Chain A
Amino acid sequence: METMNLLQAIHEGLAEEMRSDESVMVLGEDVGRAGGVFRVTQGLQEEFGAARVMDTPLAESLIVGSAIGLSVNGMRPVAEIQFADFIPPAFDQIVNEAAKFHYRSNGDWNCPITIRAPYGVVPGGALYHSQSIEAWFCNTPGLKVVAPTFPADAKAMIKSSIRDPNPVLFLEHKRTYRLIKEEVPDEDHEVPLGEARVHREGADITVVAYGLMLYTALEVAEKLSEEHGIQTEVVEPRTLYPLDKETILDSAKKTGKVLVVSEANLTGSFSGEIAAIVAHEAFEWLDGPVMRLGAPDVPAAAFARPMMDYFMPSAKEIEAAMLELARY
């Protein structure tokens, strides 16, 4: 067992899949010689060659569209969108094509592609290197959207995504790339898509979060436990779509109090879907309102640090929301 951060874990997962299956390949901007702007694919081109680790032209629709076509002809491509903010040109290929291949052909074709996209606010990232884009894609039947946060999960889930016969959008929060290290199993540790994870058990309140907000929520949960004796259950969806409702509802029914935190713009965010499910399906168990925290409805995080920090739900705001919820 090796200790790795998120970047290294995703790299290892990719490399292992490429070693065990010749049809697995990587394509995207700067993924080859440079090894990716975040170094996730560093060394892969040396090991597997320029054809299987391919630098593409700067054209997102082409990157995803050609990945679809590669999968048609026996390959298992992993397409990288350099920053999730740049995914809109590929929207048509993802939503109208990849996600619909199986359904529209009555099961004749399928589209086993993985699209990796770094998302989330990062200092200096500003409007176009910061966005949380998951809500755009969580209304797309036929597509799977995953957002693992911890290294061991990420390594297992990149492998599950590559092996999945469906298109998978694999979201990686940039600010968590080097945030923590943990022990990552060497061998085939499996985390199936579609299963949430309970990080911390607690009987008083439930917090559902992913990405950087998950780390923050876990820290605040420890603090509330020490300072106030409030026991928080923290649930990470890991796969956003299709969502593991059961794990979230089980927790909601146990605590009766649910807060959903993400850094996406609040209105229309995927947090709204989670809140709606809890409000409807766990209504009789609830002791307080289903609460949400997210970014304000402004386009995206700002470049200047004070404005960026103001944009993000802070540990202080999360703590206040959790305390408010606990009081019901």
Chain B
Amino acid sequence: MAIRETSAGHEALGLDEDDLRRMHYHMLLARRVDERSWILNRQGKAAFVISCQGQEAAQVGAAYNLLPGNDFLYPYYRDSGMTLLLGQTPRDQFLSLLGKKEDPNSGGRQMPGHYSSRRLNIVTSSAPVGIQYPQAAGTALAYRIRGEDGVVLVCGGEASTSGGDWHEAMNFAGIHDLPLVFLVENNVYAISVHAEFQVAGSIAKRAEGYGFPGHEVDGNDVLAVYEVARDAFGRARAGEGPTLIEAKTYRITAHSSDDDDRRYREREEIEEWRQKDPIVRFEKYLMENDILDESERDEISERIKAEVAEASKYAEDASFADPEDVLSGVYAEA
């Protein structure tokens, strides 16, 4: 199976310059929010960081196809590129990172990266890997039952395909032609375990066995991911069923702020992938196509820097929930 890269320029994909600027802005924003999170961790202010770094193209390229308010997203804990694109703000991310009362994901209850927003159709997420897939299938089934044109995007890393939940959902999606897009962000590592010891054969090829298409795509090529996801969303909206996308990418950071990745991978390997940084690569495309120049790039970077600084400050100054809030909200009231 050939790994898909951008075969066409953005015009052929139906994207205009504003689309590209929006994609670029959110990829860079996700990166800068992430970098600031690590600083807050090293300063002793953030107890835990889980990163999106390296996966921004896969995230933004796929999520760019979601129709806000119409479609549902089941993200996994690295998908800040998606949640920012859908409308969560850097403030939201830092409020969650620092466990503050205004944390929109959980009011300080959950670790960072456990996204939730009913307003944005981002379904509350958790830590057990792969548990979201059957739920996403159910959400897609509701559209099918009611004959509506909504699509569900569900995401996970390559290790999330090892457990039964992924296969159960793939099977169910295939049986009922569910309007569901599976995005597997294959970032090569499950904490310390290399994909070589995690994945038998090809993830993308497994879709064939479940009766629907699977594609391998260069996950560091935002336009390639957009293209393959656009086709998948189109299929789903037309009632033609699910699609599996395996985006080949790489986790640049350690698994989390509590992980020391020197125990299991060489610095040279990371350096090689830094050369393939999806943001740098996209900026090269934008510059070659006269959509962005150096000064604009610096201007955007400065704007994001200021936005991130403001958001971080806001969250650092924000208050914690009252301790006894831990007791509230166990049950929904009728």
Contact = CB atoms under 8 A, between A and B. Distances in A.
B30 interface: no
B117 interface: yes
Interface string B141-169: 11111100010100000000000110011
A102 interface: yes
Interface stretch (B35-43, B126-134, B227-235): B126-134
A96 B128 contact: yes
Nearest to B333: A165
Interface stretch (A71-79, A197-205, A311-319): A71-79
| Residue from A25, A68, A97, A103 having most chain B Cβ neighbours under 10 A | A103
| Residue from B131, B169, B175, B330 having most chain A Cβ neighbours under 10 A | B330
A66 interface: yes
Nearest to A67: B138
Interface string A92-133: 110011001111111111101000000000000000000000
B172 interface: yes
Interface in B80-135: 103-107, 109-110, 114, 116-118, 123-124, 126, 128, 131, 133-135
Contacts of A75: 142, 145
Contact of B168 (A52, A61, A141): A61
A9 to B, nearest CB: 23
B141 A163 contact: no
| Residue from A73, A75, A92, A103 having most chain B Cβ neighbours under 10 A | A73
Contacts of B334: 163-165
B329 interface: yes
A266 interface: no
A35 to B, nearest CB: 20
Contact of B169 (A65, A102, A107): A65
Contacts of A66: 134-135, 137-138, 141, 169, 172
Interface residues of B, number: 46
B164 A61 contact: yes
A191 to B, nearest CB: 14
B332 interface: yes
Given A65-B138, A102-B330, A73 B116 contact: no
Contacts of B168: 57, 59, 61-62, 65
Contact of B331 (A57, A142, A163): A142
A106 B138 contact: no
A51 B239 CA distance: 15
A109 B164 contact: no
A163 B152 CA distance: 26
Contact of B124 (A62, A92, A105, A112): A105
A268 interface: no
Nearest to B180: A69
A89 interface: yes
A73 B330 contact: no
A79 to B, nearest CB: 10
A92 B168 CA distance: 14
A73 B332 contact: no
B250 interface: no
Contacts of A74: 142, 146
A73 B146 CA distance: 10
A216 interface: no
B106 A69 contact: no
Nearest to A96: B128
Interface string A181-214: 0000000000000000000000000000000000
A166 interface: yes
28 contacts: A65-B168, A67-B138, A68-B134, A69-B134, A69-B140, A69-B141, A72-B123, A72-B142, A73-B143, A74-B142, A75-B142, A89-B164, A92-B128, A93-B131, A96-B126, A97-B126, A97-B135, A100-B126, A102-B330, A103-B109, A103-B329, A103-B330, A107-B107, A107-B329, A108-B104, A108-B116, A165-B332, A165-B333
Interface of A: 25, 51-52, 56-57, 59, 61-62, 64-75, 77, 89, 92-93, 96-97, 100-110, 112, 141-142, 144, 163-166
Closest 10 CB pairs of A and B: A69-B138, A65-B134, A66-B138, A106-B107, A73-B142, A69-B135, A110-B332, A62-B168, A165-B332, A69-B139
